Amino acid sequence: MVDKVETLGDTTFKRLKAMILDGTLEPGSRLSEKKFADHLGVSRTPVREAIAQLVSEGLAKRSAGSAPVVSSVSLNEIMEILHVRSLLECEAARKAAASGKPTEELEKIRSVIQSFIDGPRPSAPEHSALDMRLHSILAEMAGSKLLLELIEGLKVKTGMYDQGSIPDRLVPGCEEHIALIDAVIAQKPEAASAAMKLHLGNVRESIISHIYHPF
């Protein structure tokens, strides 16, 4: 099978998507073709293609008579997303722990997460990328391509909300991820599922707490 050749539009999409997920582009930000063509050093065509893909994935939305804008995620939507994520990802964690697959990458991720706790704070893109990779690798270990696609799509939407609505959960989130990784490496399916449920439950509670106690 021949790997797909990445186009300039694909690369531009990835760059704009990363800017949305790390909070550089906040909900409501206008996605002007000319502005981002100049900013990214490309022509307007790949930017147009990238914006179309952002719209198709729900990361941006079009409104009549104006440039597309970065989508926002409502509280009700994020609660629904986290509920579905819990159903899917608890099962993924359980299957990953029972899979008996090699865990070298998980061990490396654990080491990096520990360095986030012990050392300098990571940048938002670094933390976001590692967080996404951890959740993705567990879905990969579970052995279902569909499960992986569903989890990654929902994780992206959670990440959009995280940037502006959840207070700093770096250390507790890292500790929860380490407990999850340890359970998978130890091949303890029920402990892995419970660790994932606790992690996503704490994300949910942090959102609710911030809504009612924003300062």
With 50 as the cut, is the pLDDT of residue 212 above it?
A: yes
With 80 as the cut, is the pLDDT of residue 177 above it?
A: yes
User: Nearest to residue 141, comparing CAs of 192, 194, 100?
Assistant: 100
The pair of structure tokens assigned to 179 is 């407990």
Which CATH superfamily is 75-212 part of?
A: GntR ligand-binding domain-like (1.20.120.530)
Give me the residues paired with residue 63 across strands: 66
Could you give the 3-state DSSP secondary structure of residue 59? coil
pLDDT tens column, 150-168: 998 888 878 776 654 454 6
Could you give the 3-state DSSP secondary structure of residue 112? helix
For the segment 59-82, the average pLDDT, to the nearest whole number, is: 85
Specify the fold of 8-70.
Answer: Arc Repressor Mutant, subunit A (1.10.10)
CA distance 212 to 86: 23
Tally DSSP H helices, then E strands, for the chain: 9, 2
CA distance 123 to 131: 12
Instruction: Show me where the domains of the chain are located.
Output: 8-70, 75-212
For the segment 75-104, the average pLDDT, to the nearest whole number, is: 93
Strands 66-70 and 60-63: antiparallel
pLDDT at 211: 63
In this prediction, residue 138 has a pLDDT band, given cuts at 50, 70 and 90, of: very high
Higher pLDDT, 31 or 156: 31
